[in-house]
Amino acid sequence: MSDLALGRLKAGKMNKTEAEYAQYLELQKHSGNILWYKFEGIKFRLGDACHYSPDFAIMRSDNSMEIHEVKGFWRDDAKVKIKIASEMYPFKFIAIKKLPKKSGGGWSIQEF
């Protein structure tokens, strides 16, 4: 199976869900809730030859940093990586899942 079949795009390229979340973050920035965000701007080393590159690094208006991972659906390996990273690094890690329109849309948030 190719990477595109798995829903992965070239590094630095947002998929549809990530692009929609970036629009949400832009609104949060304009309203003053966040000061800054960067797509794929940080890479965490989890072990030998094992890294985690979250979707977004966020700076809140109080200067606190958060790491946001955005998914349409979750694979087990992605959940393991965000959980390990949250135990190793002093940031708030947040899993963002897009909710289907039939459920009212929006975003489901899980903190690690």
Query: Which CATH number goes with the domain that contains 78?
Result: 3.40.1350.10
How many Å apart are CA 9 and CA 4, to the nearest integer? 6
Residue 86 lies in a domain: yes
Residue 58 lies in a domain: yes
pLDDT tens per residue across span 57-108: 999 999 999 999 999 888 888 999 999 999 999 999 999 999 989 989 899 9
pLDDT of the residue at 76: 86
Which pLDDT band, with edges at 50, 70 and 90, does 7 fall under?
A: low
3-class secondary-structure state, position 22: helix
What pTM value is reported for the model? 0.86
Residue 60 lies in a domain: yes
Residue 10 lies in a domain: no
When divided into structural domains, the chain yields a total of: 1
The stretch 5-15 carries a mean pLDDT of: 72
Residue 11 lies in a domain: no
3-class secondary-structure state, position 25: helix
Count other C-beta atoms under 10 Å from residue 57's C-beta: 17
pLDDT of the residue at 1: 41
Residues spanned by the domain of 84: 16-111
Residue 8 lies in a domain: no
Q: Is the pLDDT of residue 4 over 60?
A: no
Count other C-beta atoms under 10 Å from residue 94's C-beta: 20
Residue 4 lies in a domain: no
pLDDT tens per residue across span 14-73: 999 999 999 999 999 999 999 999 999 999 999 999 999 999 999 999 999 999 999 988
Q: Which residues pair with 67 in a beta bridge?
A: 57, 93
Residue 9 lies in a domain: no
CB 30 within 8 A of CB 59: no
How many Å apart are CA 107 and CA 23, to the nearest integer? 13
How many Å apart are CA 32 and CA 45, to the nearest integer? 31
